[in-house]
Amino acid sequence: MPTVAGTLTNAASRTPDREALVFGDRRWTYRELDREVSGAAATLQRHGVGRGDRVALVSANSDRFVVAFYAALRAGAIVVPVNPALAVPELEHVLADAECRLALADAAAAAKLDGLTDGRGTTVAVLRLDRADGPDALVGDEPGAFREVEVAEDDDALIIYTSGTTGKAKGVLLDHHRVIWVGVNAIAVAKLTDGARLLHVAPLYHAAQLGIMLISGTMLGATHVVLAAFEPGRVLETLERERISSFFGVPTMFELLLRHPELARRDLSAWRTGMFGAAPMPAATVARLLDALPHVEVMQLCGQTEAGPGGIYSSFDDVRERPDASGRTPLPNTEARVVGEDGREVGDGEVGELLLRGETIMKGYWRNPEQTAEAIRDRWLHTGDLVRRDVGGFMTIVDRAKDLIITGGRNVYSVEVENAVAAHPAVLECAVVGRPHEVYGESIVAVVVARPGERVDRDDLRASCAELIADYKLPHDVVLVDALPRNGSGKVLKRVLRERVAVPV
């Protein structure tokens, strides 16, 4: 089986003159992209990057992100994709935990990375993706300067950080074998074909967009059309102009496209498959989507980064039959079980934990054997998602054992936000829960008990939290209470809090 960087080499050999990458007014053929990647890999080698070194990729979507991603892998490195919106303490934790020797960053991220260390006391070097020349730019050396690196399919390829219940992000470790199988699964489920034209709007640093769209598309020699950020009018214009055939987005993106007045006026006849995931989509929104785009096969993907990403999905027919379900069928090369506390499969209508097993399940959490042993038992990944299995095999997530909040398709763990809120001097104690939101899925609500004689202001609290966590994790609302509801053992009853604040906005 080829390596991830090898899929680009293969595509360039098969279809050298096919358009590979589009970003703004820049267009690359596969021959040009392959040469640029080899040149950038040579630059990384000149900076000392070798097999097994961790290289952070901290950038918004761009053509240079794609070049940097494949260049680092071609040099034998392990790529650590990082959300550039993270706050400095969060970035510092990721770079130190992964012991990154180098970071590849756009302008906005580079300013936050200045002076951060690799966990061993060495300052992380930064190469800029937004500069065409200079000593700190990832400019391509002559492709011939690249020295081939022997990389095997069981070599580590990616460390993707995902937040845990402790509030500290954990690195999900994937080798080339697992990443390639994510691409194979995506091709089969999303019906991607040779010559497909894929639109990348969801962030490429996210496991879903990276594995399900970029890597699978390159395997096929597809054309990657990249937008820096989501803006519904721009997305609709690009879908039409670039004759996009497949698009993956979070439910919020589809909701905003449905609301845009240009939707009905655009020629979207080339659009064949639309995939949504990363958060539940309300059944009413699914129904509107099917009515507005009857020629598009809409599919739902439901999974976890720890699974590759992977998990379960609903086909086009499944989505039409049960738009409220989270999925029906395990992805190819994947097994799924729903079990009770006794480890036995639950019956129809019962709730249990979703377990996954297959080719794409992570090797483990990076240098965290204790958490790995807790998550993977007898080769089964324990997702922590509580789902109800219904007649016909449909599965619906009913709760999240780890108190995950999904807002705008982005995962926010309540403990992370609670740690930031609790750092405010006027806060005595707090709990963070999600509130239903018709556009973003959930909004973040901080339920706060103030210290005696103190006052907690929403804007002041958000400003304080912004120094510790990314802006998309900031509380949207603050609810002041005299005391938090607790059970007999003192545990906060978040179910009660969710019921109290569940006022749709």
- Structure confidence at residue 488 (pLDDT): 53
Q: How far apart are CA 97 and CA 120, in angstroms?
A: 10
- Structure confidence at residue 8 (pLDDT): 98
- Cα-Cα end-to-end distance for the chain: 49
58: β partners:
82, 105
Q: How far apart are CA 353 and CA 386, in angstroms?
A: 5
Q: Does residue 46 surpass a pLDDT of 50?
A: yes
- Structure confidence at residue 125 (pLDDT): 95
Q: Token match 């040469």: residue?
A: 35
- Structure confidence at residue 457 (pLDDT): 92
User: What is the pLDDT averaged over residues 144-161?
Assistant: 95
- Structure confidence at residue 166 (pLDDT): 45
* pLDDT digits 0-9 by tens, 268-324: 999 999 999 877 788 888 999 999 999 999 999 999 999 999 999 999 999 999 998
Domains of the chain: 8-18+30-151 (3.40.50.980), 404-501 (3.30.300.30)
CA separation, residue 318 to residues 1, 327, 349 (Å)? 32, 8, 18
Q: Considering the entire predicted model, what is its pTM?
A: 0.88
Q: In this structure, are residues 116 and 92 in contact, taking their beta carbons and an 8 Å threshold?
A: yes
At 165, is the pLDDT very low, low, confident or very high (cuts 50, 70, 90)? Answer: very low
Q: Does residue 414 surpass a pLDDT of 90?
A: no
Computed over every residue of the chain, the mean pLDDT equals 92
DSSP notation for 297-320: EEEEEEEEGGGSSEEEEE-HHHHH
At 461, is the pLDDT very low, low, confident or very high (cuts 50, 70, 90)? Answer: very high
Q: Token match 């954990």: residue?
A: 170
Share of the chain above pLDDT 70, in %: 96
Per-residue exposure over 261-278, b if at least 16 CB sit within 10 Å of its own CB, e if not: eebeebebeebbbbbbbb
Q: Which of 489, 495, 302 is nearest to 399 (CA)?
A: 495
Q: Token match 């074909």: residue?
A: 193
Residue 36 in tokens: 């640029």
Q: In this structure, are residues 213 and 219 in contact, taking their beta carbons and an 8 Å threshold?
A: no
- Structure confidence at residue 412 (pLDDT): 84
461 CB-near residues (< 8 Å, 6+ apart): 421, 424, 427, 446, 448, 475, 478
